[in-house]
């Protein structure tokens, strides 16, 4: 589960999202229309990049076992339109 928000706690939408395996193969290249994005990924390590307002923070996430993984992307100083 990916969550997109400002550092003030407001949810964000229309986030450009890319999920790659560690070999650089793109698994998803899409726009998250809501503040939550659910992905069913196989066991492994993935690089997730979320782009908004000219910044593109990336996280490396390990998926394993049966427990879901939650990743929060926060932007500070995000100008709400």
In this structure, is residue 77 part of a structural domain?
A: no
Query: H or E stretch including 65?
Result: none
This prediction has a pTM of 0.87
In this structure, is residue 30 part of a structural domain?
A: yes
In this structure, is residue 68 part of a structural domain?
A: yes
Q: Which two tokens stand for residue 66?
A: 């049966």
Question: How do residues 55-74 score in pLDDT, each as one tens digit?
Answer: 899 999 999 977 889 999 99
The total number of structural domains that make up the chain: 1
In this structure, is residue 81 part of a structural domain?
A: no
What single-letter DSSP state applies at residue 25? Answer: -
CATH number, domain of 57, equals 2.60.40
In this structure, is residue 62 part of a structural domain?
A: yes
Domain that holds residue 49: 2-72
- The whole-number average pLDDT for the span 37-53 is 94
Question: Do residues 20 and 11 lie in contact, with contact meaning Cβ atoms separated by under 8 Å?
Answer: no
In this structure, is residue 79 part of a structural domain?
A: no
């Amino acid at each position: 589960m990916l969550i997109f928000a400002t550092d003030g706690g407001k949810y964000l939408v229309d986030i450009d999202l890319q999920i790659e395996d560690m070999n650089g193969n793109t698994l998803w290249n899409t726009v998250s229309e809501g503040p939550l994005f659910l992905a069913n990924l196989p066991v492994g390590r993935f690089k997730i990049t979320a782009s908004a307002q000219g910044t593109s923070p990336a996280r490396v996430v390990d998926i394993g076992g049966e427990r879901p993984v939650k990743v929060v992307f926060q932007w500070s100083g995000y100008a709400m339109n």
